[in-house]
Chain A
């Protein structure tokens, strides 16, 4: 793409930003490398390009050929959406925004030399690095899941993609009268209401296609961690006799061949289809690069810039971070991290002051059926004294009741956030 076109594009979008001609003068355009093209990383890549008026070079390292959304993926499991409906190519980041897409995995980060080493052998130098690898699973907490083939039989489906489709197939193959058992790890984990939405989606499918079947929720937490009364109402009224919720059920092992879950304090549970959502930590590259400073699990950041507390010029975003109070690990929130970080990185690379008062919101919709939705919303504002993001008192809340209007809004939300992140 011609630079002139970049300038025209920037102008057409009404971009407030920096001169973009810097790349033409001596070839010293600042370089940003982004690891991971999820909600946080892809958003950061796009907005750094836009807000620098296309003056900062951005390379996005992502092994997957396209973006598959975790939000809405439970509807694929429920059967009202397909995997194609939740898949978006990365093309527009490249064509419209000039992001360099690198289809590869990161092997290591050298933060002294400011270099990222890729599995394919290439090395990418950076002025600032953004690490947004999402979550990885703590398989060491479930010995049976480390046996050969175990992870192909007992699915998590907690990273949207092949496992989402495979779990749907397991449910379709299950005989009527069977039991679907899903385990939920102790918080924090990716998408607090996600497991409860999934229970509703499976129950919706069973109520239509396999009415003698059961959904058993085995939650390590003391109670439902998000939208509790709204989900419980759906289970006791809408899905009466189908859904059973058991709290304080912490899975310690899985007998894959015997299709049995083992717990810290409770009796074993055998089911036709097991869905184990394991405990999570920051994505592997963040942990092995020493960025996961909180219990070797999550990455602590400065909430003004998302710069790591462990490494200079390295920023961490999305589900990998040690969250602020009341901040969910959600796709919506990850997108907000991406924009906050993008603004800070553009400012830092051009000697501008960084925004001292970030404010952003979270809106999370959960489908309790194929059409009806409940939401939780919150507004988060930087607190200079505590140096963290806090929810604004008096703001936020949940739906009064499940409703179809919010079902339309939820799908419109998905179209908009996918475009904001990727188009």
Chain B
């Protein structure tokens, strides 16, 4: 059973479609892999940094600092090296757009 095409069309015309291109869905999936530590949609539980609503530039800068080693860390300096600059920008944009 598939979701009916007419409904998908209605959805596409709903004004939200701009944020829901396949690329946006891909970025959402990439960002979801941060949720194990930073909470679903970046809304973290106590003891971990929340990412929801954090300005994009700030997240990008921190990730770059982890990557280069400017910012000392326990895990993030190892994880940041797994993502390209473009992927980091895209994921940061996703979290910046989430409700705190």
Contact = CB atoms under 8 A, between A and B. Distances in A.
B37 A417 contact: yes
B87 A359 contact: yes
A256 to B, nearest CB: 39
Contacts of B10: 19
B39 to A, nearest CB: 5
A415 B46 contact: yes
B24 A55 contact: no
A395 B36 contact: no
B89 interface: no
Contacts of B34: 361
Interface string B19-43: 1101011101110111111111100
Contact of A394 (B24, B48, B81): B81
B48 A55 contact: no
Given A340-B29, A363-B36, A379 B44 contact: no
Interface string A172-201: 000000000000000000000000000000
B11 to A, nearest CB: 4
Contact of A22 (B4, B29, B33, B40): B4
Given A16-B28, A350-B8, A377-B75, A416 B35 contact: yes
A14 B99 contact: yes
A363 B97 contact: no
Given A361-B79, A423-B40, 17 more contacts: A14-B97, A14-B98, A17-B20, A18-B3, A19-B3, A30-B3, A343-B28, A355-B25, A359-B82, A360-B33, A361-B82, A395-B81, A412-B48, A415-B46, A416-B44, A416-B45, A419-B40
Complex A-B, nearest 6 residue pairs according to Cβ-Cβ distance, in ascending order:
A379-B82, A412-B47, A395-B82, A360-B33, A415-B45, A392-B82
16 contacts: A16-B16, A19-B8, A19-B10, A335-B36, A349-B2, A350-B2, A355-B29, A361-B33, A378-B82, A379-B81, A395-B81, A411-B47, A417-B36, A420-B35, A420-B40, A423-B40
